[in-house]
Amino acid sequence: LSFAAGVASAQDYPTRPIAITVPFAAGGPTDTVARTVADAMAKHLPGANIVVENTAGAGGTIGVGKVARAKADGYSLLVFHIGMATAPSLYRKLQYDPLEDFEFIGMINEVPMTIMVKNDLPARNMTELVPYLKANASKVTLANAGIGAASHLCGLMFQSAIGQELVTVPYKGTAPAMADLMGGQVDLLCDQTTNTTPQIKAGKVKAVAITSPKRIPSLPDLPTMIEQGHKDFDISIWHGMYAPKGTPKPVIDKLVAALQKALEDENLNKRFADLGATTVSKDRATPEALRKHLAAEIDRWRPVIQKAGVYAD
């Protein structure tokens, strides 16, 4: 009976609202990606109402753990970024196994990051910024969204690139961190272009570098870290969509099809492009591609993080 009921419910799916957990504060970069995808996917899942829930804290790991333990019925999903791959190397006790505790739906997009300073900090580029940071290291504050956040990872790479440790200030997401950077309460932040492009264009913060190997069309005047002499500085944040392990295959199949159609949506692509993000090609918006990418990224970042010697409990 329960098997038959399961098959029937997979055929009818969805019959009630689907919740996508974003493991950071509302209004930030992960939230922007999740809401944009949710709106586009809802058009391709008849009757679907997709809502985004923000469960912030511990660099995203609290929200991810919540989804790992949620009922595997297709009504609890997760959108998360590169932190899915870095947390296993950063946390001594992680409440989930990223490769074992989830069903994979697909990759979504890739997003470069911007290194920014508050407007009245006296530096416009890396040549001016590095000596300022070295001279003021004990009082300069670098914001991030907690250990495991993309901003945390970029901050580690930045401190290693300039050979200077800075005082870090954790937030529950980079939406509140950006607000404090604009208000001048913190000095420095590295955050995804999906959150920073409008504020950079409006002159509310000063961007000094982009973290991709090449400049991007939406911020064409912003030089790369590589151009400014930091030759290995290359970080792009990628997003994926997940469901708890055991979510029925017919449900996953419907979600994969809806995700792939959503990623062809003109409005979604324009919004992502305006914010500096690149939508992945259809062959990467698959469970297999996401699983493979996640496994490769776990291996890629482990030695980098071990070298940085940063751990959380």
Contact positions vs ligand MLT (CB under 6 A) = 24-25, 28-31, 81, 83, 145, 149-151, 173-175
- For 15, 64, 218, 295, the CA distances from 300, given in Å and listed in that order, are 40, 21, 28, 9
Closest CB 239 distance from ligand MLT, rounded Å: 9
Instruction: Select 195 or 279, whichever has its Cβ closest to ligand MLT.
Output: 195
116 neighbors 193 (Cβ within 8 angstroms)? no
Give the nearest distance from C-beta 277 to ligand MLT in angstroms.
Answer: 12
Cβ proximity to ligand MLT: between 54 and 218 the closer is: 54
Closest CA relative to residue 205, chosen from 128, 297, 114, 101: 114
Residue with tokens 């990051």: 113
| Minimum CB–partner distance for residue 117 and ligand MLT (Å) | 17
The residue assigned the tokens 């949506």 is: 265
CB-based contact 212:236 (threshold 8 Å) = yes
Name the minimum Å distance from CB 152 to ligand MLT.
7
Least Å distance, CB 20 to ligand MLT, is 13
CA-based nearest residue to 251, from 107, 79, 118, 71: 71
**CA atoms lying within 13 Å on the CB side of residue 140:** 25
Q: Which is nearer to ligand MLT, 18 or 235 (CB)?
A: 235
Nearer to ligand MLT, 81 or 230 (CB): 81
Least distance from C-beta 70 to ligand MLT, angstroms? 20
Residue 29 or 88 having the CB closest to ligand MLT = 29
Rounded distance between C-alpha atoms, residue 181 and residue 188, angstroms: 7
Q: Which is nearer to ligand MLT, 196 or 228 (CB)?
A: 196
Comparing CA positions, the residue from 99, 27, 21 lying closest to residue 60 is: 21
Q: How far is residue 274's CA from residue 202's CA, in Å, rounded to a whole number? A: 14
88 contacts 65 by C-beta, under 8 angstroms: no
- When the beta carbons of 10 and 20 are compared against ligand MLT, the nearer one is 20
Minimal distance, residue 178 CB to ligand MLT, in Å: 9
Question: Which are the contacts of 51, defined by CB distance < 8 A and separation ≥ 6?
Answer: 17, 18, 19, 20, 38
